[in-house]
Amino acid sequence: MRFTSSYVLLAALTSGAVARHGYQVRHQGHHRRQAAEVDTTTTVTTTSTITYCPCDESTSSAIQSATPSSSSIPTFTTTAIELTTSVSVPVLSQAPTSTEVPSSTEVPTSTEQQQHPSTSTSGASADWSTVPSSGEFSTSGFGASTNSSGSGVSYTGNVGSPYGSNIQSVEASVASNYKYVVEFTGSNTDDWYVVIWNKIGKDGKMDGWYGNACHEFSLAAGETVYYAFDTDSQGGWAAAKGSSIPTDDYGGYAATWGEFDFGSTTNSGWSGFDVSAIQAQDADLTVQGMKICSVYNDDTCSTITTGAATVDNAYTSDLKTEDGIGGNLNAGAVRLAVTLDYSG
């Protein structure tokens, strides 16, 4: 399914220091997409829900500049949220109810998942894109889930306890056991570097992309790795050639981003994703190519080629105020295939 507008994950605010950090609004695009598709009178039924690498207190040496001082990071106060509201970010009551989620062909329903022709029965050495025939997904390796809170731009989902343990690297042989899985495939020619973060940082502010990556790893040319995400996780990743991620004047990751929202509690278990060049373009830095596709529906992709020569269903700086761009997936298992250094 295509949409006409960046995901929350991930618009932009137009005044003061907040305007320099459009991500706080982009990180809500998924909520806006979903709200646009459902009756605004519906209500939300809220539920709570190998080796992981939770964030530590030190700043990685791979990041080229330190996390900005408190004077350079917006505090995302009520004023900032009110500015966001002025660009029509929906309230939570706009999300579909658990019994009124619109139908979608983007991912199979639980019944269709069980009937998937390549569904694994044991989980061992299964194709990463399959799901368990039992319909039961593993949470092995994740930390405890944290409670969700807030609404709109300030919504906080599951960030893991200990912090960052809602995201973990997994082997290809067990990836199919998890509900939300991302496959990262590196460049055909060069080593690339990837960082993954939660939208909400360790301090409870929306600053996860300011040197607060929970995972950082290198991908050799042609290499593939897998990451599993726990339910109600929101955040993003950035990728660049070499051994570090470029940063902007405020210490924010300023390469091409992938943005995610998996099993959102505030949207009745829906998921979403997009590719965004906003941060790189706003910093006048290189736009790296990236392609993200839902494996369950090849037509649901978000892509930007190198230098933003071609943009398809993805965010650029001039689209930061738009809603609905990227993929919107109904409740159920998600398998995203990410191609780095994408050139079309």
Segment of 1-10, 81-90, 198-207 carrying the highest mean pLDDT: 198-207
Per-residue pLDDT for 88 more than 80?
no
Asked, for residue 12, whether it belongs to a domain, the answer is no
Rounded CA gap, 116 and 133, in Å? 8
Asked, for residue 173, whether it belongs to a domain, the answer is yes
- The token pair at 292 is 């993200």
Summarised one tens digit per residue, pLDDT across range 46-69 is 333 333 344 544 434 343 433 444
Predicted TM-score (pTM) above 0.85:
no
For the chain, the average pLDDT equals 74
Rounded CA gap, 120 and 99, in Å? 28
SS3 265: helix
pLDDT at 198: 98
Per-residue pLDDT for 89 more than 60?
no
Asked, for residue 182, whether it belongs to a domain, the answer is yes
Please give the average per-residue pLDDT across 125-137, as a whole number: 88
Please give the average per-residue pLDDT across 253-279, as a whole number: 96
pLDDT at 281: 98
Greatest alpha-carbon pair distance for the chain in Å reads: 55
pLDDT at 300: 95
Asked, for residue 7, whether it belongs to a domain, the answer is no
Rounded CA gap, 274 and 10, in Å? 8
Per-residue pLDDT for 162 more than 80?
yes
Summarised one tens digit per residue, pLDDT across range 163-173 is 999 999 999 99
Per-residue pLDDT for 81 more than 90?
no
Buried b (16+ CB within 10 A) or exposed e, 124-139: eebebbbbbeeeebbb
Residue 315 belongs to domain spanning: 17-340
Asked, for residue 8, whether it belongs to a domain, the answer is no
Structural domain count of the chain:
1
Per-residue pLDDT for 35 more than 50?
no
Asked, for residue 124, whether it belongs to a domain, the answer is yes
Segment of 47-56, 107-116, 263-272 carrying the highest mean pLDDT: 263-272
Summarised one tens digit per residue, pLDDT across range 306-340 is 999 999 999 999 999 998 899 999 999 999 999 99
pLDDT at 126: 66
pLDDT at 146: 97
Rounded CA gap, 296 and 252, in Å? 32
Rounded CA gap, 38 and 63, in Å? 41
Which CATH number do you get for residue 254? Answer: 2.60.110.10
Asked, for residue 2, whether it belongs to a domain, the answer is no
Asked, for residue 4, whether it belongs to a domain, the answer is no
